[in-house]
């Protein structure tokens, strides 16, 4: 089979893989690069523009995996679009939100190419989307080809435990199998349960490497991390400071809200309103509605009933009083510019009473990453619009990741027994760590770090 990494960057960026297997062609994911702007943020669709694509399959609804789907469909208007049933409930909301964000960026940052697609386009494309249950094999080759007598390869989604609807994907041809992990989590989170990849075996494995540089400290448990978070929240609320937890709207937000709901239920946290963003509210509603269809803990916990959630209005983050101890769980996770988390954080950074708590991956080259790295009292440039700031607020990091730990991914390689592993979705040092470890443990496995746009025969 042939594989092309269409991510324009070698690090975490716009995930998109072109796969040709036994004469059939598939795109896996259609993301946008979180740190690039305009057309630069797109996967290298031009590289495969002349290919006859049968289908596009989506691993999950985070922007780095689905944010350019309408653009991909301009290149391949005939393609079927396959995703999990749970992603199917989310995808249109995610894409419409992208249009809104891009429009705002066009107005505020003057990026003329934005929006890269329109609300009407999203509405027109929606009938192409198909949702499937986990662990069901579906044919994905185009009707014409299968009618001509060539058997279709199949696709099966495996629950990846990372965010609602997230999946690893098994592509089965007549002779060969490819497995793509997508973003995966091998431990139970507060809501979502661990990935279910138990029986996966494949000839080729494409694997995420987000936490390749992260070694868990001895004795680390998620429970002790949650306890530490709980104590830190107490400490800040006691001095009447407010707490900002910058999060992605899908996944992180609901996991943190669930934690708060449980803490409040146990009397560990005083009942009080929690401020969230509009998109966070939409996804929280879908988490609630689909709770019994999801492989999760606390299926009866309805976040909107258990908590007093207040949606921040446009511009409110810039104005509202921060004294008196408020809780904010708002986007964006890396505090990118023009988001509520950025604008609120900007007001909190210089105030020793306030606290900003990070609970997920933060790229070092983002406002959130720079803030996390800043020492107390250090002056640094937060962002273009935020300018120079001096950090006096409390900053803490809690490891409540939704990504697999590196040893768990090494165990996955052992289990899958591939002949080739392609490393992706991680910084250079993280990918290198995996390459070395896999080579040492499995000298017969070929390890590849695919360059953007390079056609690889595996
Ligand atoms: Zn993700
Ligand atoms: Zn991702």
Give residue 114's pLDDT band: very low, low, confident or very high (50, 70, 90): very high
Q: Give residues with Cβ within 8 angstroms of 426, minimum separation 6.
A: 11, 12, 208, 209, 210, 211, 212, 434
Q: Give residues with Cβ within 8 angstroms of 442, minimum separation 6.
A: 413, 414
pLDDT above 90: residue 351: yes
Average pLDDT, the chain: 95
Give residue 338's pLDDT band: very low, low, confident or very high (50, 70, 90): confident
Distance 60 CA to ligand 1 centre (A): 7
Distance 456 CA to ligand 1 centre (A): 25
* Number of the ligand closest to the Cα of 208: 2
How far are the Cα atoms of 157, 406, 447 from residue 418, in angstroms, in the given order? 18, 18, 10
Tokens of 324: 């008196």
Distance 84 CA to ligand 2 centre (A): 16
Distance 388 CA to ligand 2 centre (A): 30
Task: Tell me the H-state helices in 180-265.
Answer: 222-238, 252-265
d(CA 200, CA 180): 10
d(CA 84, CA 166): 8
CA-based nearest residue to 279, from 332, 335, 342, 357: 332
pLDDT at 410: 98
Secondary structure letter of residue 29 according to DSSP: -
* 138-139/177-180 β-pairing: unpaired
d(CA 19, CA 149): 21
* Number of the ligand closest to the Cα of 210: 2
* Number of the ligand closest to the Cα of 162: 1
Distance 155 CA to ligand 2 centre (A): 20
Distance 279 CA to ligand 1 centre (A): 16
* Number of the ligand closest to the Cα of 185: 1
Give, in degrees to the nearest 5, the angle at Cα 453 between 36 and 21.
125
Distance 448 CA to ligand 1 centre (A): 22
* Number of the ligand closest to the Cα of 425: 2
Q: Give residues with Cβ within 8 angstroms of 51, minimum separation 6.
A: 18, 20, 25
Distance 252 CA to ligand 1 centre (A): 10
Distance 286 CA to ligand 1 centre (A): 17
Q: Is the dihedral of CA 337, 338, 339, 342 positive or negative?
A: positive
Distance 91 CA to ligand 2 centre (A): 15
Distance 111 CA to ligand 2 centre (A): 24
d(CA 85, CA 181): 18
Distance 62 CA to ligand 2 centre (A): 6
pLDDT in tens, 353-408: 999 999 988 889 999 999 999 999 999 999 999 999 999 999 999 999 999 999 99
d(CA 157, CA 292): 19
Distance 65 CA to ligand 2 centre (A): 6
d(CA 402, CA 4): 26
Residue pair 275/385 in contact by the 8 Å Cβ criterion: no
How far are the Cα atoms of 85, 164, 260 from residue 254, in angstroms, in the given order? 19, 10, 10
Distance 360 CA to ligand 1 centre (A): 11
Distance 317 CA to ligand 1 centre (A): 26
Distance 316 CA to ligand 1 centre (A): 28
- Summarize the confidence of residues 112-117 as an average pLDDT: 96
pLDDT in tens, 116-167: 999 999 999 999 999 999 999 999 998 777 777 778 999 999 999 999 999 9
pLDDT at 378: 98
Distance 239 CA to ligand 1 centre (A): 35
Distance 64 CA to ligand 2 centre (A): 5
pLDDT at 108: 85
Residue pair 422/207 in contact by the 8 Å Cβ criterion: yes
Distance 334 CA to ligand 2 centre (A): 13
Which H or E element spans position 64?
helix 63-66
Distance 442 CA to ligand 1 centre (A): 28
Distance 154 CA to ligand 1 centre (A): 24
- Summarize the confidence of residues 428-447 as an average pLDDT: 98
pLDDT in tens, 221-273: 999 999 999 999 999 999 999 999 999 999 999 999 999 999 999 999 999 99
Distance 77 CA to ligand 1 centre (A): 25
> Who surrounds ion ligand 1 at CB < 5 A?
62, 183
Tokens of 456: 């690889």
* Number of the ligand closest to the Cα of 29: 2
Distance 145 CA to ligand 2 centre (A): 32
Task: Tell me the H-state helices in 290-390.
Answer: 303-306, 316-319, 340-348, 367-373
pLDDT in tens, 173-219: 999 999 999 999 999 999 999 999 999 999 999 999 999 999 999 99
Residue 240, phi then psi, degrees to nearest 5: 65, 25
- What is the DSSP track for 100-111? HHHHHHHHHH--
Residue pair 422/3 in contact by the 8 Å Cβ criterion: yes
pLDDT above 80: residue 299: yes
- Summarize the confidence of residues 442-450 as an average pLDDT: 98
Q: At what angle do helices 278-289 and 85-109 cross, to 10 degrees?
A: 180
CA-based nearest residue to 262, from 232, 225, 302: 302
d(CA 73, CA 82): 13
d(CA 62, CA 323): 33
Residue 93, phi then psi, degrees to nearest 5: -60, -40
d(CA 315, CA 321): 13
Residue where the block lists tokens 């590196």:
406
d(CA 155, CA 151): 13
Which three-class secondary structure string do you get for 146-214?
A: HHCCCCCCEEEEEECCCCCCCEEEEEECCCCEEEECCCCCCCCCCCECCCCCCCCCCCEEEEECCCCCC
Distance 443 CA to ligand 1 centre (A): 30
């Amino acid at each position: 089979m042939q594989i092309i990494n269409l991510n324009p960057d070698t690090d975490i960026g716009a995930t998109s893989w072109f796969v040709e297997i036994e004469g059939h062609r598939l795109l896996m994911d259609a993301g946008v690069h979180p740190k690039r702007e305009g057309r630069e943020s797109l996967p290298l669709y031009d590289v495969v523009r002349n290919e006859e694509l049968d289908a596009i399959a989506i691993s999950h609804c985070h922007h780095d995996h689905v944010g350019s789907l309408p653009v991909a469909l301009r290149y391949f208007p005939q393609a079927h679009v396959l995703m999990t049933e749970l992603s199917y409930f989310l995808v249109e909301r995610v894409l419409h939100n992208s249009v809104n964000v891009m429009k705002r960026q066009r107005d505020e940052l003057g990026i003329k190419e934005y929006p890269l697609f329109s609300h009407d386009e999203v509405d027109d494309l929606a009938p192409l989307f198909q949702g499937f249950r986990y662990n069901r094999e579906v044919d994905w080759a185009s009707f014409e080809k299968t009618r001509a007598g060539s058997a279709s390869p199949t696709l099966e989604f495996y629950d990846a435990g990372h965010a609602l609807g997230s999946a690893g994907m098994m592509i089965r041809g007549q002779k060969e199998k490819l497995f793509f992990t997508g973003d995966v989590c091998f431990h139970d989170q507060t809501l979502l349960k661990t990935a279910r990849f138990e029986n996966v075996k494949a000839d080729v494995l494409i694997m995420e490497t987000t936490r390749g540089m992260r070694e868990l400290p001895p004795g680390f448990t998620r429970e002790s991390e949650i306890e530490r978070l709980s104590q830190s929240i107490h400490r800040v609320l006691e001095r009447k400071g407010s707490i900002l937890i910058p999060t992605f709207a899908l996944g992180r937000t609901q996991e943190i809200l669930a934690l708060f709901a449980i803490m409040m239920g146990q009397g560990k946290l005083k009942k009080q309103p929690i401020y969230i963003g509009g998109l966070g509210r939409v996804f929280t509603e879908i988490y609630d509605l689909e709770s019994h269809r999801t492989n999760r803990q606390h299926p009866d916990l309805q976040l909107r009933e258990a908590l007093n959630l207040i949606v921040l209005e446009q511009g409110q983050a810039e104005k509202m009083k921060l004294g008196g101890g408020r809780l904010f769980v708002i986007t964006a996770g890396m505090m990118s510019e023009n988001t509520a988390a950025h604008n609120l954080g900007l007001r909190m950074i210089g105030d020793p009473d306030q606290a900003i708590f990070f609970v997920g991956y933060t790229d070092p080259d983002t406002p959130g990453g720079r803030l996390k790295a800043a020492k107390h009292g250090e002056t640094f440039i937060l962002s273009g619009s935020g300018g120079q700031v001096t950090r006096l607020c409390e900053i803490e990091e809690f490891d409540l990741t939704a990504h697999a730990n590196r040893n768990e991914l090494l165990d996955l390689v052992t289990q899958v027994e591939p002949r080739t592993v392609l490393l992706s979705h991680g910084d250079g040092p993280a990918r290198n760590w995996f390459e070395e470890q896999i080579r040492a443990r499995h000298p017969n496995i070929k390890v590849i770090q695919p360059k953007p746009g390079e056609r690889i025969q595996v």
